[in-house]
Structure formats: C-alpha cells, structure tokens
Structure 1
Amino acid sequence: MFIKHLIIKETIPAENIIREIPFAKGMNFIVDAGKDQEKGNSVGKTTILKLIDICLGAKDRKFIYFDDETKQTNEKLKNYIIDNKINVELMVVDSFNEENSSEYILSVDLYPRGKRYINGIETNQNDYWQQLNVILFSNYANSPTFRQLINMFVRIDQRADNNKFLKFLDRTNEATYENIYSYLFELQDQEVSNCILDLRKEIADKDKEIKNFMSINNFKSIDSVDQKVNLLESTIDELNNQMNMLVSSRKFKENEEKISEIKIEYANYNNRIDELLFKRKKIKDILADAKQEIKNGIDEEVLRNLYNETQKAMGNLHKEFEDLVKFNDELMHNKIRYFNSQLEKIDKQTVGLEENKNRLFEKHKNVIMLIEENKIDQYTSLQNKLAEYNEELGSNKNIRSTYKHLESRRAKLVEKLEKTEGEAEVKKDSLSIFNKYFSQYSEKTNGEPFMLYKTEKGFPFGIDSVKRGLSTGTRKSIIAAFDLAYQQLAKDLKKKAPNFIVHDVIETIDQVALGAIINIVNSIECQYIVAVLKEKIKDNDLIEESNIKATLSENNRPFRN
C-alpha cells in the first residue's frame, strides 16, 4: 500500500480544505521555505509526519499543539482545532498506476473525543487498528497488532525526535519483539509464533503470580517453608510426648469434658472460700479495734463536752450524763457481740465449703488423678500450644502446596514452550535475503556493510558492527538502509506490507548517505517520506522539484495559521 495524499480540513462552520499534500513513489520531502525567509526548524515539518501517524492509528492527538519537552500548549492552535473541528484524512492505495487499485480513506478528528473513520464509516479505536492490520498487512489474526507492526514503517514519535532502531516500540518485552520480527521476516509459521508468544506471556504472568504469592505470605524461598514445616512437625511430636508423659491421652480425652466440669466447680469453691476469708479478716480487724477501745477506756471529757453542747442546743435532757456513759459502753459491747456472731457464721460457712470441696475431689479422684500430681493446668497449657502449632503447620503446608501447584503449572508451560520451540521450523532463508540487501544498502549509506543476525538469548536480533557511541547521523542512515532492505525483502517474499517509509528529520545524515538513500528509493519504487531543512537538499542534483511535496514557513504552517 502507498500513501496517495493527506488532507487537512475544517468541518465547522462548513467543510473547508486547509491543505492537501499529494504523495508519489520515490522521495517525498516536507521542507521549510529556506534560510532567506526564516529559520525552518519550527514551521511544522514534523507536524505533517505526525498527522500521517495519527491517521495510521497513533493515539496521542494532543501533541499536535502540546510540546512534551517544554510542557507548553499552543493555545491558539488548540482552540482553532477545537472551534473548527479540524479533521485530517489519509488516502492509501494499492497502486498509483492500476485503474482498479483499491483505495482507503483513513480519517481522524483532531479535536478531543473526535472520531475515527475508514471510508466514511465511524470506527472505534480497536476496530480501526484491526481493519488497518488487514488493509496494510493482510494480518487477519491481528497478532502482532497493527501498531506493533506499523511503527517499523512510520518511525515517528508524537512526543519527540525518533532515533529508535530495532527496538522501535515503547515498553515492549523481548517475547513480543520476537513475535513481531518473526511475522515481518517470516522466520516461522505465524500460528506457531503466536502460540510461542502466548506461552511466554503465560509464563511471565505465572512468574508474577508466584512472586506476589511469596510476597503476600512473606517468604523468599520455598526451602524456608519446608524447613518451617519440618520444625513444626518436630515441635508437635515433642509436645505430644510431653502430654503422654503426663497422662494417657486416650483416657484423658475420654474424661476431658467431665474434668472440665469438675475444674469449674472446684474453682467456684475456691473463689467462695477466698471471699469468706477476706470477710473474716476484715471482721477480725474491726473486733481488734473495738477491743482496743474498751481497753483504753472511754474519754469521758469528750463525752461530757458532747453532752453539754447538746443540752445547750436542745434544753433540758431527760437523761443524765451517767446514762450516756453507760449507753456508750453497751454500744461498744454490742458491736463486739455482733461481729463475733458474724465471725462464727463465716467460719461455719468456710468449713462447710472446704468439706464440700474435699468431698468433690474424693468423689472424682480417679478421673482427676489421670494426671500425675494433679497437673491439669500443665496438660491444658500443652494442649493449647499443640493447637497453635497444628494451626501454623496447616497454614504452612497449605502455602507449600499452593506454591508447588503454581510451580508445577509453570513447569508445564515451560515444557510446552520448549517443545513448541523445538518443533518449530525456523526459516533462515528470509534473513539471508534481507542481509543481501541490507549489507549492500548500508555499505552505500555508511561506507561499510552491516548485517542482521538472530541472537541466542535476550533481544532476538542484533546488528553486526553497530557500536555504542554512533553519531545520530550514522544511526539514521543505518535505519534508512535497514528499512529500505525490508522493502526489498517484502517484495521477494510477496508479503503484503506498507510500501512507504516515514522518517522524521534527517539533517544529521551526510550528503553521501542522503544521495545513496535517494538512489536506492528510486530503484526499488517505494515511498520515502521525510521532513528536512531545504538548506540540506537545495544543491542536491538527485532531488527534483516534484520531490518536494510541501513547503512550510512562519506564514504557511500546516494549518496555515
């Protein structure tokens, strides 16, 4: 599929085409007006490329007017897009020459919550991607996804310049990349490749599940759980031995309920006796104080003062002072007699309770003495500990069982993956075909041949001779050679894929590399769409005026505002 044109238009208050950019086979340049008018780095050249990417399913429409680096919003452009309901459409075609060529119009509203359309039919985002996967790749299985594939052909980042090479996607794991490259290079049957990807995802999910399970249950190694189970089992055996030394477990269990009832009754007797003994002590203290008062005698002077004050207050009293002394003496003796009688009652009750307690013990002596030296409390304590340890043992055994189940499931997935990979036929012919073109093209663009190779582990592919520290220009020209080589591979494999390459700014590519790219593009009849400063290409004899598809300036920006 080729890109035939890009149209930017207002839809409110009436439909009005702002800009139409036609494209053709070969080189397609988006340039500035030139240094004689104004600087060309800020006139919106990459905006045109972003619009192509948006029509091809990119989600981030806001970066048309929002600069992610400076976090600044072009409010004028934003309001214009919203107020006039700006829409952009991209036409893709099978061929520029055939009369019956298939045409598809991909249309996207640029304003917030705007819609997407294919041939005028509104389409939600997922359906939009799936249909494009069929239109541009004939990928009905939708694995890999459209956006995973198209990013190798449209190397545009909505946020910033794009220098990505083999890893052309954000936040994508190696298994997904292997599936993508397997599809693009037809390294193995795609159904098998998709199965391998699914298995790797399942294994990754299972690894995450196991990790979370270990974190929740607070262990770092299953061996620590095994050791804990062994230790708990050993401790439980020791507790059982201690209990058996105290009592015959069988006999105790047979009488356990009865012993519990006796213990409660026995404890009640003790509590009541303790209460009576406490009362007895209080009474003894009261009696001691009373007897001491009698022994010390009554303070008659205090009593006389009380008598006189009362007489003054109430007048003539019917009793003499001697009567008061006698009454006070009798009161003290009555107090002693009362508390002595209370003491006798308490002693009698205490004796009765003691006798009842002893009778209770004698009556159930055979049951209680199942335990040596009457160690009921010790046995009960061991019993409680045993219950706690058994509960802990059960919990850890459950953890171990669940962990082993998860590991077993993971092992089966790994086994299935290894079997599937072992049986999968890897086709290396396509890689050899690709490297034939890649080595030729990279030698022309970079002065030395490069090759793509399959790695044993880690990222699935590597580039031989690519070293760290390459300049952006060198990297850009290698990417161009790589993408052009793939165009040739797809033709040789008769594989349906986009016949266009969209790159952002190439100012860092030297003239030799640029000339090589132009010659290669013209020789293989693909589209190469790129933004570049006009100054970079103005003296290049290989570039014709027809190759320049849009010239932008400060007064002639993409939206002409």
Structure 2
Amino acid sequence: MFLKSLNIANDSGIVRSINFHSGMNLIIDETPSDKNLVTGNNVGKTTVLMLIDFCLGSSAKAIYTDPENKKNENAVVKQFLIGTKVVITLTLTHDLHNPLSEDLVIERNFLSRSQLIRRINGAQRTEQEFEQVLTEYLFPGHYGKKPTLPQIISHNIRYKEQGITNTLRTLNQYTRDDEYESLYLFLLGCDFDRGDMKQRLLTQIRTESAFKARLEGAQTRSAYEASLSLILMEIEKLDKEKAALKINPNFETDLSRLDEVKFEINQKTSQLSRLKMRKSLTEEAVLEISSGSATVDVQQLKQLYRDVSERVSGVQKTFEDLLLFHNAMVEEKARFISKDIPRLNAAITQCESEIAALLREEVDLAQVVAKSASFAELEAVIVENNEKFRQRGEFETIIAQISDVEDVLKSLNSSLADIDDELFSDDFETRIQAQLNKFNRHFSTVSQELYGEQYALKVDRVTARNGQRVYRFSSFNTNFSSGKKQGEISCFDIAYTLFADEVGIPCFHFLLNDKKELMHDNQLANIARLVSRKSEQVQFVASILKDKLPAELNQEKYFVVKLSQDDKLFKIE
C-alpha cells in the first residue's frame, strides 16, 4: 500500500490537500533561517506525519498535545480541529500509477459520541472494529494476535523520539524484550505456532508473580519462616509456664481447647483472606482478557468482507468464521485462567462455615474458662499465648500460600521452558538465520550504496532480567552521530520493504520520516536516487527545512507540500 492523498477539510471546505507520488516526497518548511527563530517548529511539518498516523489509528490528542508534557495542549489548534469540525481523509492505494487500483479510504475527525467520524471506505466503525478492519486488510487472520498492527507498522512512521533515534526499538520505552522478540520474528516471517500459548503463559506468570509480591509485601518467605520458628519457641515457653500453675484437670482441658480454637480461628481467617485475594486477582485477569472479545455487527461488515474477498484471491474463510475464531480464542483464554474460580468459591464457603463453627465454640469455652477461680492468675499468660497463636496461624498460612504460588510458578515456567525449547531449538534458529541472510542482502546493499558501509541485522539468544530466554535483534553499527543514525534507520526501513516484497510478507510501502535535516546532503540525495529506482516498492516521505536541502533535491517535483511561518498547515496562525 502507498500513500495517495491526505485531505484536511472542515465546515468551510478544503483546508489543505496533499497529493503524494512515487519515490521521494518532501514536506518543506520554506521559512528562511534568519527569520525562523524556532528552527522550523510549529509550521506543521511533523503534523502531516502525525495526521497520517492518526488515520491509521493513533490518538487524536497527539495532534494538539505536547509529547513531552501531556497536560500542555495547544488551545488554538484544538479549538480549530473541534470547533470547525475538521475531517482528515487519508487515501491509500496498491498502485500509484494505475487509476483503477483499489483504494483504501480512511476518514477520522476529532469530535466525540454521535458526531465522531471513524470510517473505512465509507463505513462507520467502532474503535475496536477500526483496528480490526485495518489489520485484516493488510494481514488477514492476524487481528487479536501479537504483534499488533501499530507495533508492526511502527518502523514505517517515524516522528516520535523512539523512532527517530532507534533503528529497531521503535515502540514505547516500557515495551518488554519478549514483545520485541515477537515483533521481529513476525517481521522476518518466522511466525511461531505456539506464540499465543507463550503469551498466555506469560500473562499467568505475571498474575501469579503479582500475587506472590503481595504476599511478600511485608517480609520474604524466609523471614516469615524465621519468625515462625521464634514464635513456636515462645509458645513452648508459655506452655511450660502455664503447666507450672496449679490448675484443676478440667480447667486445663478447656483452656487448652480454647487455645486451639483461637489458633484455628486465626489460621482460618488468614486463609480466607488469601483465598479472597486470589479470587479477586483471577477475576481481574479474566475481565481484562474478556474485554478483548470482538462484538461486531456481522451484517454491517458482511458486504464489505464479501467485496474484499472478491478482490483478494485466496480468501477461504468467511468473516463470521474469523470473528467466531477470535471470540472463541478470547473465551478459551478466559476459561483457562478462570478455571480456579469455582474451586476458590467452594473453598471460601467452606472456610467461612468452619470459622462460624469455631467462633461459636470459642464463646462457649470462654464462658466455661471465665468461671474458673484460676483465670485471674493465668490471665497474663493466656493473653500473651493467644497473641502468639494468632501470629503462628497468620505466618503458617502466609508461608503455605507462598509455597503454593511458588509451585504454580514452577509449573508455569516449566511449560514456558517447553515452548522455549522449541523456540530456541537449532532448527528454529537456523530458520531465523536464513531469513536474516535474505534481509541482510538488502540491508548491506542499501547501506553500501548510501554510505559505502555494510550494515547487517543479527540476533542473539539472551536471558532477560526476569530469567526468560528471548531473541534480541540488533544491527551492526559503531557510529553514534545523529546523522549516521538517521542514515542507518533509513537503510533499515528501505531494506525491510524490499525484503518483505521478496519473501511475500504484506507491508506498507511508504516510509514517513521527520527531522531529515539531521542527515548529510549526500546521504539524502543518495536516498532520493535509490527510491527513484525502487519507486515501485518504496515511497519515501520526509519533512525538512528547505534551506537544508541539497541542490539536487531542491526541485518542485519532489515537493508535496510547502509550509512556512506565513503559511502553516492549518492556516490558523
């Protein structure tokens, strides 16, 4: 898919219409340097890229919010977008040179509720449907799986700091290594059949680890065990003190039973608390997974899917099949995690019943013991002993709970290890390396043409901080200047598009780049010549200050929009 056009319109008509072409497309800031005190900021170069990203599913707030401080909003821009009912229309096409080529038309606005526009080829979509249709259009059958569409196309759209400064780690700073592993295995065409099971296990491991962290919030298991040992010693000491007192046989029996009942009550109460905590965490996990179930108006989408099926050969599954498969997958995940809920409910009911019986027995025994003439004499020992028994019950319950969750984690990690044994087998690594070799032929060729150097992508088996094995992808690069990094990024993105076409992996053929003035003139000119030759495969869109352009590129044929301090993108400032 290539960019065909981007239109900005409001209730007064067309504000800006941008038509893209094959090869190099430049978004130019014409403001002279001696007058441009903000070095090209605020004219809308980056906003063009953001609007394309917005049409592909990103947040509307990014258009009028400071990326470094989400609380700072550009009130003028926000009012313009909302107050004048701005609609952004992005048109993608399979072939820029064929007027009969199938187009994909996406429309979005910045209003809410009944006035919200979120259309694909004229059909209004919910937020979930929107991402689903876009995903299925490019990757049939992939919606609901990892990596997500925004992750897959993150290297195509580079205007955020992560994408501008990093070649591979283009997602947000909190993205885990296993997510990057999933992303680059997918991009290389090395899909792993048990990937969904691995993600499910990782979700369970995180849930159980969170439960264990709560249990050990005050102390670790070893600390609880050490404290329990001291408490047992104290109880033994108090029992000896109590035995030395002159107590009639019946009183001793009743008092001993009262101690046991109090201990059992404390133990059962602590156990009940942990059972309820575990049930709550399980229900939260089920709710989080169940929220991903698709609720699509099948009749509304049926015609669209039929149209797509007629135009795309090889589609054998109906939309209803795909929808049922997705919802069944989500339901299976929910059932898998929620299978402990009935057992937990039964255990909670049983525990509450036992506590009630023990409380009644405690009342009866307390009344009997209180009538003894020896009670006053033993009161101090009894109070202290009761507290020790309470602590003993609490600590033993916590230790048992920690032991149980450790057993569960051991089992989950064992299952994960079985999957990883396949994922990290020599056969699978050989498969990855074969794909890397194909990619690196393009990567090295492109970088050799642009820089006279050869870049390559490599993969290493590493162990992450949480102990999990992952594949970590990285590029060979010993140059750290901003210009060189910009070049490496462009080499990678161009090479990936050529590689994807070679091996038959669907991809967007447009590459969006911000701040290309960081590159050397020769590098940018080389890119223009390269994408000109590869215009059937690569469409390169870059924002740049006009006075930073090399002479070779300072030509109208490359410009798709020219902006300045006197002619900003939205024409409102």
- TM-score w.r.t. length of structure 2: 0.69
**Aligned equivalent of 1:495:** 505
Q: Distance in 2 between matches of 1:212 and 1:165?
A: 38
Report the AA paired with residue 83 of structure 2: D
Q: Could you list the per-position Cα deviations for residues 424-455 of structure 1 after superposition, in whole angstroms to 9, with x for gaps in the alignment?
A: 33431212211222222223334322222223
Distance 1:407 1:70 in 2: 40
Give me the whole-angstrom Cα distance separating, in 2, the residues matched to 1:63 and 1:475: 26
1:431 equivalenced with 2:433 (yes/no): no
Within the alignment, does 1:174 sit opposite 2:186 as a pair? Answer: no
Which residue is 2:463 aligned to?
457
Deviation at 1:71, TM superposition (A): 7.9
Would the aligned equivalents of 1:435 and 1:451 in 2 still touch at CA under 8 Å?
yes
| Farther off after superposition, 437-446 or 73-82 | 73-82
Bigger shift: residues 411-420 or 114-123 = 114-123
Coordinate RMSD, CA, aligned: 3.2
1:552 aligns with 2:563: yes
Pick from 145, 153, 159 the counterpart of residue 156 of structure 1: 159
* Residue number in structure 1 paired with 2:337: none
Instruction: Kindly report which structure 2 residues correspond to 1:452-491, keeping only aligned pairs within 5 A, or say none.
Output: 452-455=457-460, 456-458=462-464, 460-467=471-478, 470-491=480-501
Specify the code of the residue in structure 2 equivalent to 1:227. A
Cα distance change of structure 1 residues 436 and 251 upon mapping to structure 2, 3 Å threshold:
same
The offset of 1:85, in angstroms, is 0.7
SS at match of 2:547: helix
2-structure distance, mates of 1:505, 1:559 = 20
Q: Secondary structure at the match of 1:91?
A: strand
Q: Select the structure of larger CA radius of gyration.
A: 1
In the other structure, the counterpart of 1:297 is none
SS state at 1:554 partner: coil
1:274-331 superposed Cα distances (whole Å, 9 cap, x missing partner): xxxxxxxxxxxxxxxxxxxxxxxxxxxxxxxxxxxxxxxxxxxxxxxxxxxxxxxxxx
| 1:240 alignment counterpart | 239
The alpha-carbon distance between structure 1 residues 431 and 395, as it changes in their structure 2 partners (threshold 3 A), is: same
Q: Which residue of 1 aligns with 2:291?
A: none
Residues 54 and 61 in structure 1, CA contact (< 8 A), matched pair in contact too: no
> Which of residues 27, 31, 38 is equivalent to 2:28?
31
User: What is the CA distance between 1:232 and its match in structure 2?
Assistant: 2.2
Moved more, 57-66 or 148-157: 57-66
1:79 aligned partner:
79
Instruction: Show the counterpart of 2:47.
Output: 47
* Cα distance change on mapping 1:130 and 1:235 into 2, 3 Å: same
Provide Cα deviations, 1:453-475, integer angstroms capped at 9, x if missing partner. 223234843435434x7121111
Contact between 2:184 and 2:473, CA under 8 Å: does it hold in 1? no
The structure 2 residue matched to 1:534, chosen from 546, 549, 552, is 546
Give a deviation string over 1:129-179, Cα, whole Å, max 9, x none. 22222223332344222222221211122x899323322111212222221
Residue 95 of structure 1 is matched in structure 2 by: 95
Aligned partner of residue 152 in structure 1, secondary structure? helix
Once the two structures are TM-superposed, the CA of residue 193 in structure 1 deviates from its matched residue by 2.4
Alignment of 1:208-287 (within 5 A): 208-215=210-217, 218-219=218-219, 221-246=220-245, 250-253=249-252
C-alpha separation in 1, matches of 2:215 and 2:169: 32
2:527 aligned to 517, 525, 531, which one?
Answer: 517
Q: 1:377 to 1:453 in 2, by over 3 A?
A: same
Aligned equivalents of 1:249, 1:2: Cα separation in 2 = 95
Counterpart residue identity of residue 210, structure 1:
K
Determine what percentage of the aligned residue pairs are the same residue.
23
Map of 2:272 onto structure 1 = none
Q: Secondary structure at the match of 2:164?
A: coil
What SS does the aligned partner of 1:232 have? helix
Contact 2:28–2:545 under 8 Å retained in 1: yes
Match of 2:518, SS state, is: coil
Number of residue pairs matched? 437
How far apart, in 2, do the equivalents of 1:9 and 1:513 lie?
Answer: 36
1:333 paired residue number: none
Distance of aligned partners of 1:382 and 1:553 in 2 relative to their CA distance in 1, 3 Å threshold = closer
- Using the alignment, how far apart are the partners of 2:171 and 2:437 within structure 1? 25
Runs of at least 5 residues in structure 2 that lack an aligned partner in the other structure: 257-368, 465-469
1:332 equivalent in structure 2: none
- In the TM superposition, residue 97 of structure 1 has moved relative to its aligned partner by 4.4
Q: Is the 8 A contact 2:55 2:88 kept in 1?
A: yes
- The one of 409, 434, 445 equivalent to 1:440 is 445
For residues 162 and 112 of structure 1, the distance between their equivalents in structure 2, rounded to whole angstroms, comes to 31
Structure 1 residue 397: Cα displacement: 0.6
1:507 counterpart SS class:
helix
**Secondary structure of 1:479's partner?**
helix
